[in-house]
Amino acid sequence: MGLAAFLVVIQLLITAVHWIIFRSVDHYFDLTGATEYYVFWLFLLSSLTFLLSNIATRIIPSRVSRLAYRLATIWLGTIHFLFLGAVVMALLELSSDFLLLITPSWVAYGVYLGAILISYLSLRHSKQIFVRRHTVALPNLPSRWRGKRALFFADTHYGSIHRAKAAERLVNLIESEEPDLIFMGGDFFDGPPIDPDLVTFPYRRLTQTIPTFFISGNHEEYGKKAEFLRSLETNGFRIINDEKVVLDGLQIVGLDFMTTRTEAATAMTLKHLELDRTLPTIILKHIPRHMEMIEMSGGHLMLSGHTHQGQVWPVSLITHFVYSGYDYGLKPYKNLQVYTTSGAGSWGPPQRFLTQSEVVVFTLENKE
Protein backbone atom coordinates (compact mmCIF):
# COMPACT_ATOMS: atom_id res chain seq x y z
CA MET A 1 0.00 0.00 0.00
CA GLY A 2 1.39 3.41 -0.99
CA LEU A 3 1.64 6.30 1.44
CA ALA A 4 -1.31 8.17 -0.12
CA ALA A 5 -3.62 5.14 0.05
CA PHE A 6 -2.46 4.41 3.59
CA LEU A 7 -3.25 7.96 4.70
CA VAL A 8 -6.71 7.80 3.09
CA VAL A 9 -7.53 4.59 4.97
CA ILE A 10 -6.22 6.08 8.21
CA GLN A 11 -8.30 9.23 7.62
CA LEU A 12 -11.48 7.22 7.12
CA LEU A 13 -10.85 5.37 10.38
CA ILE A 14 -10.08 8.61 12.23
CA THR A 15 -13.28 10.22 10.96
CA ALA A 16 -15.34 7.19 11.97
CA VAL A 17 -13.86 7.20 15.48
CA HIS A 18 -14.54 10.94 15.87
CA TRP A 19 -18.16 10.32 14.84
CA ILE A 20 -18.58 7.56 17.41
CA ILE A 21 -17.16 9.75 20.18
CA PHE A 22 -19.39 12.66 19.14
CA ARG A 23 -22.47 10.44 19.26
CA SER A 24 -21.45 9.20 22.71
CA VAL A 25 -20.87 12.71 24.04
CA ASP A 26 -24.10 13.92 22.46
CA HIS A 27 -26.01 11.08 24.10
CA TYR A 28 -24.61 11.25 27.62
CA PHE A 29 -24.41 15.02 27.93
CA ASP A 30 -27.75 15.59 26.17
CA LEU A 31 -26.43 18.23 23.76
CA THR A 32 -29.07 20.33 22.01
CA GLY A 33 -29.38 23.27 19.66
CA ALA A 34 -26.31 25.40 19.00
CA THR A 35 -24.15 23.42 21.43
CA GLU A 36 -24.78 20.19 19.55
CA TYR A 37 -24.12 21.95 16.22
CA TYR A 38 -20.78 23.44 17.29
CA VAL A 39 -19.56 20.27 19.01
CA PHE A 40 -20.38 18.30 15.86
CA TRP A 41 -18.29 20.61 13.68
CA LEU A 42 -15.52 20.69 16.27
CA PHE A 43 -15.20 16.91 16.10
CA LEU A 44 -15.52 16.83 12.31
CA LEU A 45 -12.84 19.46 11.72
CA SER A 46 -10.50 18.06 14.36
CA SER A 47 -10.70 14.68 12.60
CA LEU A 48 -8.90 16.28 9.64
CA THR A 49 -6.00 17.78 11.60
CA PHE A 50 -3.74 14.72 11.42
CA LEU A 51 -3.96 14.35 7.64
CA LEU A 52 -3.73 18.07 6.89
CA SER A 53 -0.80 18.71 9.25
CA ASN A 54 0.97 15.63 7.86
CA ILE A 55 0.66 17.05 4.35
CA ALA A 56 1.75 20.49 5.58
CA THR A 57 4.99 19.17 7.07
CA ARG A 58 5.88 17.71 3.66
CA ILE A 59 4.88 20.68 1.49
CA ILE A 60 5.86 23.59 3.74
CA PRO A 61 8.19 22.22 6.44
CA SER A 62 8.56 24.81 9.19
CA ARG A 63 8.32 25.18 12.94
CA VAL A 64 4.66 26.10 12.57
CA SER A 65 3.75 23.03 10.50
CA ARG A 66 5.76 20.78 12.82
CA LEU A 67 3.98 22.23 15.86
CA ALA A 68 0.62 21.73 14.17
CA TYR A 69 1.54 18.13 13.39
CA ARG A 70 2.69 17.48 16.94
CA LEU A 71 -0.55 18.86 18.39
CA ALA A 72 -2.56 16.84 15.87
CA THR A 73 -0.79 13.61 16.79
CA ILE A 74 -1.29 14.24 20.51
CA TRP A 75 -4.97 14.83 19.82
CA LEU A 76 -5.07 11.64 17.73
CA GLY A 77 -3.71 9.69 20.68
CA THR A 78 -6.24 11.34 22.98
CA ILE A 79 -9.02 10.39 20.60
CA HIS A 80 -7.91 6.77 20.92
CA PHE A 81 -8.50 6.88 24.66
CA LEU A 82 -11.76 8.82 24.31
CA PHE A 83 -12.94 6.09 21.94
CA LEU A 84 -12.12 3.49 24.59
CA GLY A 85 -14.09 5.68 26.99
CA ALA A 86 -17.06 5.60 24.62
CA VAL A 87 -16.82 1.80 24.53
CA VAL A 88 -16.74 1.69 28.33
CA MET A 89 -19.83 3.90 28.52
CA ALA A 90 -21.68 1.68 26.06
CA LEU A 91 -20.84 -1.38 28.13
CA LEU A 92 -21.91 0.35 31.33
CA GLU A 93 -25.21 1.34 29.79
CA LEU A 94 -25.85 -2.30 28.98
CA SER A 95 -25.53 -2.93 32.72
CA SER A 96 -28.77 -1.10 33.42
CA ASP A 97 -28.94 -2.26 37.03
CA PHE A 98 -25.70 -0.37 37.68
CA LEU A 99 -26.73 2.79 35.83
CA LEU A 100 -30.05 3.01 37.65
CA LEU A 101 -28.06 4.05 40.71
CA ILE A 102 -25.81 6.64 39.08
CA THR A 103 -26.59 9.51 36.73
CA PRO A 104 -25.03 8.58 33.37
CA SER A 105 -23.69 12.09 32.73
CA TRP A 106 -21.60 11.97 35.90
CA VAL A 107 -20.27 8.57 34.96
CA ALA A 108 -19.43 9.93 31.52
CA TYR A 109 -17.56 12.87 33.07
CA GLY A 110 -15.43 10.47 35.09
CA VAL A 111 -14.77 8.10 32.18
CA TYR A 112 -13.84 10.81 29.69
CA LEU A 113 -11.70 12.77 32.15
CA GLY A 114 -9.98 9.49 33.00
CA ALA A 115 -9.33 8.92 29.29
CA ILE A 116 -7.70 12.35 28.99
CA LEU A 117 -5.56 11.67 32.08
CA ILE A 118 -4.42 8.32 30.64
CA SER A 119 -3.51 10.09 27.40
CA TYR A 120 -1.34 12.57 29.29
CA LEU A 121 0.39 9.85 31.32
CA SER A 122 0.93 7.78 28.17
CA LEU A 123 2.58 10.77 26.51
CA ARG A 124 5.04 11.10 29.38
CA HIS A 125 5.59 7.34 29.53
CA SER A 126 6.56 7.11 25.85
CA LYS A 127 9.58 9.37 26.40
CA GLN A 128 11.19 6.89 28.79
CA ILE A 129 13.34 4.38 26.93
CA PHE A 130 13.87 1.07 28.68
CA VAL A 131 16.82 -1.29 28.22
CA ARG A 132 15.93 -4.92 27.61
CA ARG A 133 18.64 -7.54 28.20
CA HIS A 134 18.90 -11.02 26.71
CA THR A 135 21.58 -13.67 26.34
CA VAL A 136 21.60 -15.43 22.97
CA ALA A 137 23.66 -18.47 22.04
CA LEU A 138 25.00 -18.69 18.49
CA PRO A 139 26.69 -21.80 17.06
CA ASN A 140 30.41 -21.67 16.26
CA LEU A 141 30.75 -18.24 17.85
CA PRO A 142 34.42 -17.19 17.75
CA SER A 143 36.06 -16.48 21.09
CA ARG A 144 36.43 -12.87 19.95
CA TRP A 145 32.65 -12.40 20.37
CA ARG A 146 31.91 -14.54 23.41
CA GLY A 147 30.56 -12.42 26.22
CA LYS A 148 30.40 -9.36 23.96
CA ARG A 149 27.33 -7.16 23.81
CA ALA A 150 25.32 -6.21 20.73
CA LEU A 151 22.79 -3.39 21.04
CA PHE A 152 19.74 -3.35 18.78
CA PHE A 153 17.31 -0.49 18.24
CA ALA A 154 14.77 0.49 15.58
CA ASP A 155 11.89 2.81 14.75
CA THR A 156 13.25 6.10 16.06
CA HIS A 157 11.16 7.96 13.44
CA TYR A 158 13.21 11.14 13.43
CA GLY A 159 11.30 13.88 11.64
CA SER A 160 8.59 16.32 12.64
CA ILE A 161 8.26 15.13 16.26
CA HIS A 162 11.44 13.30 17.26
CA ARG A 163 14.40 15.53 16.44
CA ALA A 164 17.94 16.37 17.56
CA LYS A 165 17.23 16.36 21.31
CA ALA A 166 15.65 12.92 21.06
CA ALA A 167 18.71 11.70 19.13
CA GLU A 168 21.05 13.08 21.80
CA ARG A 169 19.09 11.37 24.58
CA LEU A 170 19.16 8.03 22.81
CA VAL A 171 22.86 8.30 21.98
CA ASN A 172 23.58 9.02 25.66
CA LEU A 173 21.63 5.90 26.66
CA ILE A 174 23.35 3.68 24.09
CA GLU A 175 26.76 5.05 25.03
CA SER A 176 26.14 4.24 28.69
CA GLU A 177 25.59 0.57 27.75
CA GLU A 178 29.09 0.33 26.22
CA PRO A 179 28.09 -2.08 23.42
CA ASP A 180 30.60 -3.85 21.17
CA LEU A 181 28.22 -3.86 18.19
CA ILE A 182 25.22 -1.73 17.24
CA PHE A 183 22.37 -2.70 14.91
CA MET A 184 19.74 -0.25 13.64
CA GLY A 185 16.71 -2.08 12.23
CA GLY A 186 15.09 0.58 10.05
CA ASP A 187 12.70 3.54 10.27
CA PHE A 188 15.50 5.72 11.59
CA PHE A 189 13.69 8.52 9.74
CA ASP A 190 9.95 9.16 9.74
CA GLY A 191 9.76 10.47 6.17
CA PRO A 192 8.82 14.19 6.23
CA PRO A 193 11.52 16.69 5.18
CA ILE A 194 14.26 17.16 7.76
CA ASP A 195 17.93 18.08 7.68
CA PRO A 196 19.12 14.50 8.23
CA ASP A 197 22.46 15.56 9.67
CA LEU A 198 20.66 17.07 12.67
CA VAL A 199 19.79 13.58 13.90
CA THR A 200 22.62 11.50 12.43
CA PHE A 201 25.51 13.68 13.62
CA PRO A 202 25.03 12.87 17.35
CA TYR A 203 25.61 9.20 16.51
CA ARG A 204 29.19 9.92 15.47
CA ARG A 205 30.08 9.54 19.15
CA LEU A 206 29.13 5.89 18.75
CA THR A 207 30.00 5.05 15.16
CA GLN A 208 33.57 6.33 15.37
CA THR A 209 34.52 3.51 17.73
CA ILE A 210 31.72 0.90 17.52
CA PRO A 211 30.76 -1.03 14.36
CA THR A 212 27.25 0.22 13.61
CA PHE A 213 25.05 -1.42 10.97
CA PHE A 214 21.85 -0.10 9.38
CA ILE A 215 19.04 -1.41 7.18
CA SER A 216 16.21 0.60 5.64
CA GLY A 217 12.62 0.35 6.83
CA ASN A 218 9.43 1.37 5.09
CA HIS A 219 9.56 4.95 6.39
CA GLU A 220 12.88 5.64 4.70
CA GLU A 221 10.88 5.14 1.48
CA TYR A 222 8.43 7.91 2.43
CA GLY A 223 11.08 10.63 2.16
CA LYS A 224 14.30 11.41 0.33
CA LYS A 225 15.90 8.03 0.87
CA ALA A 226 19.14 8.84 -0.95
CA GLU A 227 19.72 11.87 1.29
CA PHE A 228 18.88 9.86 4.38
CA LEU A 229 21.36 7.11 3.50
CA ARG A 230 24.06 9.61 2.56
CA SER A 231 23.74 11.30 5.94
CA LEU A 232 23.86 7.98 7.78
CA GLU A 233 26.98 6.88 5.88
CA THR A 234 28.66 10.25 6.36
CA ASN A 235 28.16 9.92 10.10
CA GLY A 236 29.54 6.42 10.37
CA PHE A 237 26.68 3.98 9.82
CA ARG A 238 27.45 0.95 7.66
CA ILE A 239 24.52 0.50 5.26
CA ILE A 240 23.96 -3.22 4.63
CA ASN A 241 20.81 -3.25 2.51
CA ASP A 242 20.89 -6.69 0.85
CA GLU A 243 24.50 -7.17 1.87
CA LYS A 244 26.46 -9.46 4.13
CA VAL A 245 29.48 -8.62 6.24
CA VAL A 246 31.77 -11.07 8.00
CA LEU A 247 33.25 -9.35 11.03
CA ASP A 248 35.86 -11.44 12.85
CA GLY A 249 33.97 -14.65 12.12
CA LEU A 250 30.47 -13.24 12.79
CA GLN A 251 28.24 -13.11 9.70
CA ILE A 252 25.94 -10.06 9.65
CA VAL A 253 23.25 -9.84 6.97
CA GLY A 254 20.98 -6.91 6.14
CA LEU A 255 17.76 -7.18 4.11
CA ASP A 256 16.32 -4.02 2.56
CA PHE A 257 12.62 -3.42 3.17
CA MET A 258 11.76 -2.58 -0.45
CA THR A 259 13.50 -5.52 -2.09
CA THR A 260 12.35 -8.22 0.36
CA ARG A 261 8.66 -7.46 0.80
CA THR A 262 7.59 -10.91 -0.36
CA GLU A 263 8.68 -14.37 0.69
CA ALA A 264 9.93 -15.12 -2.83
CA ALA A 265 11.99 -11.91 -2.93
CA THR A 266 13.47 -12.66 0.48
CA ALA A 267 14.42 -16.18 -0.62
CA MET A 268 16.00 -14.88 -3.83
CA THR A 269 18.02 -12.21 -2.00
CA LEU A 270 19.31 -14.71 0.54
CA LYS A 271 20.24 -17.14 -2.23
CA HIS A 272 22.12 -14.38 -4.06
CA LEU A 273 24.05 -13.47 -0.90
CA GLU A 274 25.36 -17.05 -0.59
CA LEU A 275 25.57 -17.13 3.19
CA ASP A 276 28.25 -19.22 4.85
CA ARG A 277 26.23 -21.75 6.85
CA THR A 278 29.22 -22.60 9.04
CA LEU A 279 29.31 -19.10 10.56
CA PRO A 280 27.11 -17.69 13.34
CA THR A 281 24.66 -15.47 11.48
CA ILE A 282 22.64 -12.42 12.54
CA ILE A 283 20.05 -11.20 10.03
CA LEU A 284 18.43 -7.76 10.13
CA LYS A 285 14.98 -7.50 8.52
CA HIS A 286 12.67 -4.60 9.28
CA ILE A 287 9.37 -6.50 9.29
CA PRO A 288 9.15 -9.80 11.24
CA ARG A 289 8.10 -11.96 8.33
CA HIS A 290 9.53 -14.75 6.14
CA MET A 291 11.19 -16.55 9.05
CA GLU A 292 10.93 -19.81 7.11
CA MET A 293 13.23 -18.49 4.37
CA ILE A 294 15.64 -16.96 6.86
CA GLU A 295 15.84 -20.12 8.97
CA MET A 296 16.40 -22.26 5.87
CA SER A 297 19.21 -19.97 4.70
CA GLY A 298 21.14 -20.60 7.91
CA GLY A 299 20.16 -17.59 10.01
CA HIS A 300 20.53 -17.97 13.78
CA LEU A 301 19.27 -14.63 15.12
CA MET A 302 16.79 -12.40 13.30
CA LEU A 303 16.32 -8.81 14.45
CA SER A 304 13.18 -6.90 13.43
CA GLY A 305 11.08 -3.87 14.34
CA HIS A 306 8.22 -2.11 12.54
CA THR A 307 5.33 -3.28 14.74
CA HIS A 308 5.87 -0.88 17.70
CA GLN A 309 4.06 -3.69 19.55
CA GLY A 310 0.94 -1.81 18.55
CA GLN A 311 2.18 1.21 20.57
CA VAL A 312 -1.14 1.57 22.41
CA TRP A 313 -3.44 -1.11 23.77
CA PRO A 314 -5.61 -2.67 22.36
CA VAL A 315 -3.81 -2.18 19.03
CA SER A 316 -1.14 -4.45 20.52
CA LEU A 317 -3.68 -7.28 20.36
CA ILE A 318 -4.04 -6.66 16.63
CA THR A 319 -0.29 -6.69 15.95
CA HIS A 320 0.02 -9.89 17.98
CA PHE A 321 -2.57 -11.50 15.70
CA VAL A 322 -1.24 -10.05 12.42
CA TYR A 323 2.34 -11.17 13.11
CA SER A 324 1.36 -14.51 14.63
CA GLY A 325 2.88 -13.69 18.00
CA TYR A 326 6.16 -12.40 16.56
CA ASP A 327 5.16 -8.75 17.03
CA TYR A 328 7.33 -8.38 20.13
CA GLY A 329 10.01 -10.10 22.15
CA LEU A 330 12.40 -13.01 21.75
CA LYS A 331 10.71 -16.06 20.21
CA PRO A 332 12.01 -19.28 18.66
CA TYR A 333 11.23 -20.32 15.10
CA LYS A 334 12.68 -23.80 14.62
CA ASN A 335 16.46 -23.24 14.80
CA LEU A 336 16.08 -19.47 14.42
CA GLN A 337 15.76 -16.99 17.27
CA VAL A 338 13.59 -13.97 16.40
CA TYR A 339 13.57 -10.70 18.31
CA THR A 340 11.08 -7.99 17.40
CA THR A 341 11.57 -4.71 19.22
CA SER A 342 8.77 -2.33 20.20
CA GLY A 343 10.98 0.50 18.98
CA ALA A 344 12.73 3.48 20.48
CA GLY A 345 10.34 6.08 19.09
CA SER A 346 6.76 6.42 17.91
CA TRP A 347 4.72 7.01 14.79
CA GLY A 348 1.49 8.95 14.70
CA PRO A 349 0.34 9.41 18.30
CA PRO A 350 3.39 10.01 20.52
CA GLN A 351 1.69 8.12 23.36
CA ARG A 352 2.41 4.58 24.55
CA PHE A 353 -0.08 2.62 26.61
CA LEU A 354 0.80 -0.82 28.01
CA THR A 355 3.87 -0.90 25.75
CA GLN A 356 7.33 0.61 26.22
CA SER A 357 9.98 2.34 24.14
CA GLU A 358 13.16 0.31 24.26
CA VAL A 359 16.62 -0.63 23.11
CA VAL A 360 17.82 -4.22 23.41
CA VAL A 361 21.20 -5.47 24.61
CA PHE A 362 22.18 -9.01 23.63
CA THR A 363 25.04 -10.78 25.36
CA LEU A 364 26.51 -13.20 22.82
CA GLU A 365 27.45 -16.71 23.93
CA ASN A 366 28.58 -19.82 22.12
CA LYS A 367 25.99 -22.54 21.54
CA GLU A 368 27.52 -25.82 22.61
The pLDDT score that the predictor gives to residue 30 is 87
Instruction: Decide: 72 and 192 in contact? Cβ < 8 Å.
Output: no
Tell me: the pLDDT tens digits for 154-180?
999 999 999 999 999 999 999 999 999
Question: Which structural domain, as residue segments, surrounds residue 34?
Answer: 3-125
Is the domain of 361 the same as that of 278? yes
What is the pLDDT of the chain when averaged over all its residues? Answer: 95
CA 342 from centre of chain: 6
Is the domain of 110 the same as that of 213? no
The pLDDT score that the predictor gives to residue 300 is 98
Is the domain of 170 the same as that of 29? no
The pLDDT score that the predictor gives to residue 100 is 59
Is the domain of 246 the same as that of 233? yes
Which amino acid makes up residue 26? D
pLDDT at 61 over 70: yes
Q: Where are the alpha helices (DSSP H) in the chain?
A: 3-28, 33-46, 49-59, 63-94, 96-99, 104-126, 164-177, 197-200, 204-207, 225-234, 263-273, 291-296, 315-322
The pLDDT score that the predictor gives to residue 302 is 99
pLDDT at 29 over 60: yes
Q: Which of 100, 125, 150 delimits the end of a domain? A: 125
How far apart CA 179 and CA 316 sit, in angstroms, is: 29
Is the domain of 135 the same as that of 110? no
Q: Which of 94, 125, 156 delimits the end of a domain? A: 125
Is the domain of 154 the same as that of 296? yes
pLDDT at 136 over 70: yes
pLDDT at 363 over 80: yes
The pLDDT score that the predictor gives to residue 87 is 95
CA 146 from centre of chain: 30
Q: Which of 125, 142, 160 delimits the end of a domain? A: 125
The pLDDT score that the predictor gives to residue 9 is 87
The pLDDT score that the predictor gives to residue 8 is 83
Is the domain of 108 the same as that of 88? yes
The pLDDT score that the predictor gives to residue 10 is 86
Tell me: the pLDDT tens digits for 322-335?
999 999 999 999 99
When pLDDT is averaged across residues 317-346 and rounded to a whole number, the result is 98
The pLDDT score that the predictor gives to residue 101 is 61
Is the domain of 174 the same as that of 309? yes
The pLDDT score that the predictor gives to residue 3 is 65
Question: What total number of domains does the chain contain?
Answer: 2
- Least confident range from 58-62, 131-135, 215-219, 237-241: namely 58-62
Is the domain of 221 the same as that of 239? yes
Is the domain of 96 the same as that of 201? no
The pLDDT score that the predictor gives to residue 98 is 62
The pLDDT score that the predictor gives to residue 73 is 96
When pLDDT is averaged across residues 240-262 and rounded to a whole number, the result is 98
Is the domain of 61 the same as that of 168? no
Is the domain of 172 the same as that of 304? yes
Residues forming a β-bridge with 153: 184
Give the list of residues 6+ apart from residue 315 with CB closer than 8 angstroms, or none: none
How far apart CA 276 and CA 75 sit, in angstroms, is: 50
Using the CB atoms, write b or e for 233-258: b if 16+ within 10 Å: eebbbbbbbbbbeeeeebbbbbbbbe
Instruction: Decide: 305 and 263 in contact? Cβ < 8 Å.
Output: no
196 or 192: which leads in pLDDT: 196
pTM of the model: 0.93
